[in-house]
Amino acid sequence: MVPASPVGAAERPAGPDTARAGAGAEPAAPARGPQTAEAEQTTRTERTTGAAKAATRRTNTRTVPVVFVHGHEGSAQQWQSQAKRFSSNGYPDRLLYAFEYNTRVPTDDHAVAGLEEFVDGVRARTGAPRVDVIAHSRGTRVLHRYLSVPERAAEVRKYVNLDGASSAERPGGVPTLAIWGSAQPNGSIGGAVNVHTTDQGHTETATSARSFAHIHTFLRGRAPATEKVLPEPPGQVEIAGRAVHFPLNSGLAGRLEVWRLDPATGARADRRPRHVVRTGADGAFGPLDVNGRHTYELVLVRPGERVNHFYPEPFERSDRFVRLLVSAPGGVADRADACPGHTSVTVVRNREWWADTAAPDADRLELNGVQVLNPAVSPASRQILGVFAFDRDCDGISHTEAPLPPFDRIPFLTATDLHLPASPAADGTITVTQTMRGTGGERRTLAVRNWPSDSDTVSVLFKDYTDTAFGSTR
């Protein structure tokens, strides 16, 4: 997601962490311990009329649908964690939505028109007169245009602007919370609740528990009971989502297989898959029951295409926004060399990989024990979310000291030259281990199979949080 260009950006006030509330301001977000002024500063300038406050009191916030709008090269993946946090706090899943659009189109006309149709559909489906909207990065640019039409603004109860567009006034006059991260450290929206968390990554502002606390408090009028994704009973977990072309967000029709795995080796644990279903023209699948204690492989099979293998962390809670991203023809994945002798692995996490922060708290990513992140490959300034590891030129030699072109120029992506031997039967194991910054050294390992890269792709999907979940290691 490319950061939206600030419009009328104002300097962030200096001084200690403060919360200044005007008449009728929304309740302050819960305290999170000492913060530096640079790390987090909340400024409240929101004013509401008595009539508006009365209308808010009459609204049962548990019946207000919440719509998420992603940013550039984004999808509903950036909504997965927050949707599960809302659900963990008792918010009905039937009221949580994500609007997706093609971010290859340089203008926003199609997104604005599509969002209008989408919101109308949500209102008709739920019977709610208004919705709450959360937008990130380029999505905030879409929302500023969307809310500029009074008739559309009247259908939005509250708006959350995540590290994107600035403005002199609240878009459409809608009550607004604006959270600013490292991409827009001086962002500001006049008359809004402005929260500066400049020690968060650009995408982290959309996915973090820290942001969720502010969002929940703003939308619901009280702090969340928990900021964690709480596990459900393992036998009650379901998943649903879409298989899509990245970054078009167009659906992929095909056969989807869901296999239970041996978590230690990545080998399939059963003779038959747990599920075999067809994805629709929109790529949709599910809901499918899974066990929250088990590890799974999701396999997308399409005629004449490479087989796509996805290895997520265990689903400790139902997730209706699973996204299986496949690079569109002519897309970035075509620049990764493919041959029968090596496995190509893409590792995705919707919290930036920062390899140049102070040791020992930098992010680490190891494939078969080889650390592939360093300040050149994954500096904080590049806001890396996806790491491609493949054998450049198929020469059997690894060079992990520098990023590979053209990935070093593509937003949110990087690549490293790493030889991971493949076998025709994919009977070998590749271990993928992350150590996430800010967790005190907590490690998570997923085991995958060594599929040949000329016929198969491998994607490893790490969560952007480390709440206690099955399958974690320390």
What is the domain partition of the chain in residue ranges? 41-220, 233-329, 333-474
Correct CATH for 333-474 of 2.130.10.10, 3.30.70.270, 3.30.930.10, 2.60.40.2200: 2.60.40.2200
- Cβ-proximal residues to 444 (8 Å cutoff; 6+ apart), any chain: 313, 433, 434, 436, 462, 463, 466, 471, 472, 473
Instruction: Look at residue 286 in the predicted model and tell me its pLDDT.
Output: 98
pLDDT tens digits, 396-423: 999 999 999 999 999 999 999 999 999 9
Rounded mean pLDDT of 68-89? 98
**411 φ, ψ to 5°?**
-55, 135
Same fold, 41-220 and 333-474: no
Question: Rounded CA gap, 395 and 300, in Å?
Answer: 29
| DSSP secondary structure string for all residues of 319-349 | EEEEEEEEEPTTSGGGGS---TTB--EEEE-
Partners of residue 446 on adjacent β-strands: 432
pLDDT tens digits, 299-352: 999 999 999 999 999 999 999 999 999 999 999 899 999 999 999 999 999 999
pLDDT tens digits, 155-198: 999 999 999 999 999 999 999 999 999 999 999 999 999 999 99
- Which has the higher per-residue pLDDT, 331 or 134? 134
Helices 80-88 and 209-220: crossing angle in degrees, nearest 10, is 60
CATH class of domain segment(s) 233-329: mainly beta
Question: Rounded CA gap, 354 and 439, in Å?
Answer: 13
Arithmetic mean of pLDDT over the chain: 89
Q: Are 309 and 297 in contact (CB under 8 A)?
A: yes
| DSSP secondary structure string for all residues of 4-40 | PPPSS--PPPPSS------TTPPPPPPP-S---TTT-
Percent of the chain with pLDDT over 70: 85
Instruction: Look at residue 50 in the predicted model and tell me its pLDDT.
Output: 37
Say if strands 176-180 and 156-162 run parallel, antiparallel, or are unpaired.
parallel
Q: Give me the amino acid identity at 127.
A: G
State the Cα angle at 456 between 78 and 288, rounded to 5°.
50
- Which has the higher per-residue pLDDT, 51 or 158? 158
How many residues in total does the chain contain? 474
pLDDT tens digits, 188-201: 999 999 999 999 99
Question: Rounded CA gap, 54 and 468, in Å?
Answer: 41
Closest to 250 measured CA to CA, from 161, 347, 331: 331
CATH class of domain segment(s) 41-220: alpha beta
At 17, the pLDDT band (50, 70, 90 cuts) reads: very low
Task: Assess whether pLDDT exceeds 70 at residue 206.
Answer: yes
pLDDT tens digits, 233-276: 999 999 999 999 999 999 999 999 999 999 999 999 999 999 99
**270: DSSP letter:** S
